[in-house]
Amino acid sequence: MAREYPVKKGIKMSNEYILEQAKKFVESAEIKDDKVHASLPGMKSLELYTNGKTLFAQTENDHSYNDVAKTIKLFNDIIETITGFNSKERKKRMSKL
């Protein structure tokens, strides 16, 4: 199941933009099947895609990895860079729904 993330106004969402931003954190990121695929420490897979206005993220965790805090920080940094909202701002927006 994919999670949905709001995007700040003015950010032009596209798979190319998502790939460009993701590569700042994960060099192995690539576009496959109209989605950006990457893997990072603690996540077997990370799929990022958009409908043009919203970011969707689908993850598969690596349960053998021990530094969960590092994984969460890296994931939040990636999402913040792409969407323009930090985790606190995302939480606030989601609580309004």
Domain 3-95 has CATH 3.30.310.190: yes
pTM of the model: 0.90
Give tens-digit pLDDT for 38-62: 999 999 999 999 999 999 999 999 9
Which residues, including other chains, have CB under 8 Å from residue 35's CB and lie 6 or more apart? Answer: 15, 47, 48, 49
What pLDDT shows up at residue 96?
78
97 pLDDT tier (thresholds 50, 70, 90)? low
The domain segmentation of the chain, as residue ranges, is 3-95
Determine what percent of the chain is predicted with pLDDT higher than 70: 99
Helices (H), the chain: 15-22, 68-83, 87-95
